Chain A
Amino acid sequence: MRFAAILILLICIPLLSAHVDSFNHSYLLKKGLTSEHSDVLYKAFGEFRGFLSDMSFLNADIYFHGGVYHLEEGETPHLIVEQAHATADMREEDHNGHMHDDDHEDAGYRHSKNTMNILLKISSGIDITRHIHLSGKRKKEILPWIYYAIRLNPKNVQAYSIGGFWLAVKMKKHKEGIELLEEGIENNPRAWQLYLTMGHIYISRLKDYEKAYDHLTKAKRFMGSGNADRFDRRSVLTFHAEACIHLKKYREAIDSWERILKDFPGSSQLRGRIARVRSLM
């Protein structure tokens, strides 16, 4: 008798769970929710995931500085600044001078040498008052936090963009960087930043100007409806013009430069470039 009851219960459990599962699925579909909402991390953290993802991304920056948080209020994380420099100038090697393991005394750190409070002195002695910038193979230490930032929130465009840039440009892992950016584009098809990073990698690392042109054209298109400022526009258009020059699409290159001139009318260097390309046409 007892055995039969257990058997019946064992049969009932999968039947009931199948019913509950199909009910949940149809409920989610009716509410217009996507498969993302059935993700384990979404179920565990809900919308809190976004916050955790941002924290994880910030932790990547802290790791880059040897575990030391040194940002002043409102300051941009170094990982983002590195990418911004590289995309603005298209010569990331120029900025590698700053990418070493040197110690930096934190300017904002407040010493307590003059205090009479012995506990305060101990407390200050325990603190790490310097930070380093990871270099060489140690740069890989930031990757786990980029990974978790993305897994926690697949809409974190910045994490995809910075992750792709650091993998492909800084760590020379082109394949992994591009795969990550492709995944980012799949999850955020209108994020111009990801197409910009793709374009940057294809131009500066892989010298594949066709693919760079495709991505940068998309970046140009989506940037119009996005949240780009004039500096972002300059990055996209500079890369786009660069790809066009290599593909001998001189007219498009001049169009891109002229759009930059609207934002930066004082750029005589750019005017010179336009004149040089016009003479080639």
Chain B
Amino acid sequence: MKTVFLLARHSFKELVRKKDFYVLLFLLIGLIIFFYNKTFFGTADASRYLKDIGYSLVMICSIILCVTFTAKQIPSELESKTIYPLLAKPVSRDQLVWGKFLGGLFMSAASFTIFFIVYLIFINLKGEGVKGILMFQAYIFSLCLFTLLSAVTVFFSMFLTLSANITLTLLLFFYFSWYNESLRSLLLDETLKMRLFYNLLFYALPHFEFFDMKTRLAHSWDPIPLWIFVSVIAYTLIYSTLLVISSSALFRRKNL
């Protein structure tokens, strides 16, 4: 366990060294200030669009960082051949995969936390603000999303090149965030043939749409019921663990 966390800490340190995070942070602050100061037909205190756009910006910046950073983890070690001295130390392949996964997750969580704080400062300064419980749920769900995204990215990095991995993960993310509704409608259709197949598909595909709190946050809806909140966290942990275990199994068989 200690080795895994050492590897994760090493990955996390890269965040501080890399410029990507700072560029996105300043871009985010600039854009939020722009939208914050905008007035519409003499009305300055319309705030829901700021909550909506701001949250989307925070998520997009964090997702880009999460996927690009996690996708680089193992391929860059292989490319620069630093993986050999690493594995020569008492570090198993399983520990390496878990370490890289946790590194990606910690980095994403840290950058998202900073982006989210900036966002919260601005939305609490303008208009109706946000309920504390909604902020908490949105934060936890976002951490769950980065856990799942990091796991998916690590899994794909076992058999895809860096650019293919980034493209496929982002495509999967946007596709299932936007179009999962159509698969759900299909399953609710009473006349559906091959119901078992579609049910299996529904279980197998990652449900990124579970973590989207934008509408609830922007329009001050009620918080998510507790049983769903707990279920989503459990779903994330189970799905991500299965993916990382599968990644470890694939990595063990890999010829280096």
Tell me if A110 counts as interface (CB < 8 A to partner B). yes
Instruction: Give a binary string over B35-53; 1 marks a CB under 8 Å from any A CB, 0 the rest.
Output: 0001011110111110010
* Contact assessment for A123 and B49 in the assembled complex, using a CB-CB cutoff below 8 Å: no
Q: How far is the CA of A180 from the CA of B203 in the complex (A)?
A: 51
Complex: how many Å from CA A175 to CA B210?
Answer: 44
Q: Quick check: is B225 within 8 A (CB to CB) of the other chain?
A: yes
Closest 9 CB pairs of A and B: A67-B219, A144-B49, A143-B40, A67-B215, A125-B228, A176-B41, A147-B40, A141-B48, A66-B219
Cβ of B202 < 8 Å from any Cβ of A?
yes
Per-position 1/0 for A162-199, Cβ under 8 A of B? 01000100000101110110000000000000000000
Query: For the complex, is B218 an interface residue (Cβ under 8 Å from A)?
Result: yes
Known A122-B210, A125-B225: A140·B43 in contact at CB below 8 Å: yes
Q: Chain B residues with Cβ under 8 A from A163's Cβ?
A: 41
Contact B215 A120 (CB under 8 A): no
Given known pairs A66-B221, A117-B187, A120-B202, the reply for A126 and B210 (CB within 8 Å) is yes
- The verdict on A279 contacting chain B, using a C-beta distance below 8 Å, is no
Q: Is the CB of A140 within 8 A of B218?
A: no
A277 close to B (CB within 8 Å): no
A residues engaging B (CB < 8 A)? 63, 66-68, 110, 112, 115, 117-120, 122-126, 128, 140-141, 143-147, 163, 167, 173, 175-177, 179-180
**In the complex the two chains form, what is the Cα distance from A111 to B231 in whole Å?**
18
Q: Give B238 Cβ to nearest chain A Cβ, in Å.
A: 11
Task: Name the residue among A120, A167, A177 with the largest chain B CB count within 10 angstroms.
Answer: A120
Are A144 and B221 in contact, with the CB atoms below 8 A?
no
Chain B residues in 8 Å Cβ range of A175: 42
A188-B228 Cα distance, complex, nearest whole Å: 51
Bound CA span A112–B184, Å: 9
Q: Which residues of A contact B49 (CB under 8 A)?
A: 63, 141, 144-145
Which residues of B, 64-114, contact A by the 8 Å Cβ criterion? none
Do residues B46 and A123 form an inter-chain contact, with CB atoms below 8 A? Answer: no
Whether B210 contacts A123 by the Cβ 8 Å rule is yes
By a CB distance below 8 angstroms, the chain B residues around A167 are 41
Closest to A60 in B: B49
B191-209 contact mask (Cβ, 8 Å, vs A): 1 or 0: 0000000010011000101
Contact across chains for B38 and A144 when beta carbons are under 8 A apart:
yes
Contact at A144–B40, with CB atoms within 8 Å? yes
**For B232, what are the chain A residues with a Cβ–Cβ distance below 8 Å?**
122, 126
For the complex, what is the distance from the CA of A125 to the CA of B224, rounded to whole Å?
8
Contact A180 B209 (CB under 8 A): no
The reply to whether the CB of B23 lies closer than 8 angstroms to some CB of chain A is: no
**Which residue among B218, B219, B221, B227 has the maximum number of chain A CB atoms within 10 Å of its CB?**
B219
**Residue picked from B43, B203, B212, most chain A C-beta under 10 Å:** B43
- CB of B9 within 8 A of chain A? no
A118 to B187, CA, bound (A): 12
Q: Nearest-CB distance from B38 to chain A (Å)?
A: 7
Count of B interface residues, CB-CB < 8 Å: 36
Q: Given the complex of chains A and B, what is the CA–CA distance between A141 and B41 in angstroms?
A: 12
Residues A67 and B187 in contact in the complex (CB < 8 Å), given A122-B231, A125-B228, A126-B228? no
Chain B residues within an 8 Å CB radius of A125 = 224-225, 227-228
Please tell me if B180 contacts chain A, counting CB pairs below 8 Å.
Answer: yes
Write the chain A residue with the least CB distance to B214.
A67
16 pairs across A/B with beta carbons < 8 Å? A63-B48, A66-B219, A67-B214, A120-B187, A120-B188, A122-B207, A126-B212, A126-B228, A126-B232, A128-B216, A140-B40, A143-B40, A173-B41, A173-B42, A173-B43, A177-B41
Once A141-B49, A143-B43 are accepted as A-B contacts, the answer to whether A126 and B185 lie under 8 Å apart by CB is no
Report A85 CB to chain B, min CB distance, Å: 22
Do A128 and B231 contact each other (CB < 8 Å), given the known contacts A123-B180, A144-B46?
no
A117 to B224, CA, bound (A): 19
Using Cβ atoms and an 8 Å threshold, which residues of chain B touch A120?
184, 187-188, 202
How far does the Cβ of B14 sit from chain A's closest Cβ, in whole Å? 34
Complex CA–CA separation, A238 to B42 (angstroms): 32
Q: Cβ of A143 and Cβ of B46 under 8 Å apart?
A: yes
Q: How far is the CB of B216 from chain A (nearest CB, A)?
A: 7
- Beyond known contacts A68-B219, A123-B210, A143-B46: 18 more, CB 8 A cutoff: A63-B219, A67-B52, A67-B214, A67-B221, A110-B188, A117-B187, A119-B235, A120-B202, A122-B231, A122-B232, A123-B209, A125-B224, A128-B221, A140-B40, A141-B47, A143-B40, A143-B43, A175-B42
Kindly report which residue of chain A lies nearest to residue B216, judged by CB atoms. Answer: A128
State in angstroms the CA–CA spacing of A115 and B186 once bound together: 13
Shortest A149–chain B CB gap in Å is 11
Q: Write the chain A residue with the least CB distance to B187.
A: A120
Name the CB-closest residue of A to B52.
A67
Q: Which residues of B contact A179 (CB under 8 A)?
A: 41
Q: How far is the CA of A97 from the CA of B45 in the complex (A)?
A: 26
Give the CA-CA distance A120 to B232 in the complex, in Å.
Answer: 12
In the assembled complex, the Cα of A173 lies from the Cα of B202 at a distance in Å of 50
